[in-house]
Structure 1
Amino acid sequence: MKHYTKTIVVKKEDLDDLDHVNNVRYLEWVQDIAKEHWQTEATTEMLDKYIWMVRSNYIEYKGQAFLGETLYLKTFIKDAHGPISVRVVEIHNQENKLILRSTADWCLIDRTSKRVIRLTKELTNLFT
């Protein structure tokens, strides 16, 4: 499976009242890396034709991250069938400790009709 990665540094605005990364911020990062991965791999024609919508998301918080820490985000498609793409996002700290794992079902949508559509072989091949 093709992986997409990025590195971020925790900023003050990422923190909650307990001075660690807010769970809402983690969810934003999960969404951001998924979108970036799609935009990096897809053709212009695909970007014009399709959009993705989250159907479900399961997040396991395995640790905490704090101001100034470098975090490593990695995402990949675990499975793809029908209109659903199962995407995994993992966030590790600089000691390579798993901080978060997200597994989400993303549903493929036709950009014009806004209807659910099945993944084509071309789309499935993008990520495998």
Structure 2
Amino acid sequence: MQIFEKTITVSKDDLDDLNHVNNVRYVQWVQDIAKEHWLAYVSDKVLSKYSWFLVNHFIEYKSQALLGDQLLLKTFVPKTEGVSTTRHVEITNKKTNQLIVSSKAKWCLIDSKTQRPTRITNEIASLFN
């Protein structure tokens, strides 16, 4: 299983009225890293034929992040089946290694032409291994 990761630093724009990272920002980061992971490995040919549709999303807030914190975002797809995958995202404080957010999201592969769910090909499944 391939793990895709990146580090970000919390900025003032990420904060809410309590000076913690806004919950909406975490959701955005979860979506952003999923897209970045996909785009880092997918070919232009596959990209032109398929896209992903979010079916459901579960996010659990374990701790808080503050201005200046460096956060490590990790994502991985443990398995693909049929037309869908469940993508995991973990956000941890890079300095303390404390888990801040844990997320699981079910994504469905869509044929770009028909806009209908389509079976995940071996080529696409191999992008996550």
Residue 97 of structure 1, CA deviation: 0.6
Give the aligned partner of residue 96 of structure 1: 97
Give me the whole-angstrom Cα distance separating, in 2, the residues matched to 1:20 and 1:118: 40
Give me the whole-angstrom Cα distance separating, in 2, the residues matched to 1:111 and 1:36: 19
Give the aligned partner of residue 6 of structure 2: 6
Give the aligned partner of residue 111 of structure 2: 110
Unaligned runs of 5+ in 2: none
Give me the whole-angstrom Cα distance separating, in 2, the residues matched to 1:33 and 1:97: 19
* AA aligned opposite 1:68: G
* Secondary structure in 2 matching 1:33: helix
Q: Does 1:73 align with 2:73?
A: yes
Q: Which string of whole-angstrom CA distances, capped at 9 and with x for unpartnered residues, describes residues 13-54 of structure 1?
A: 100111100000000000000000000011111111111111
Give aligned-pair identity as a percent: 52
Give me the whole-angstrom Cα distance separating, in 2, the residues matched to 1:31 and 1:95: 24
Q: Which string of whole-angstrom CA distances, capped at 9 and with x for unpartnered residues, describes residues 70-105 of structure 1?
A: 000000002210110110000000211100010000
Q: Does 1:31 align with 2:31?
A: yes
* Secondary structure in 2 matching 1:54: strand
Residue 121 of structure 1, CA deviation: 1.1
Q: CA RMSD in A?
A: 0.7
TM-score of the pair, normalised by structure 2: 0.97
TM-score of the pair, normalised by structure 1: 0.98
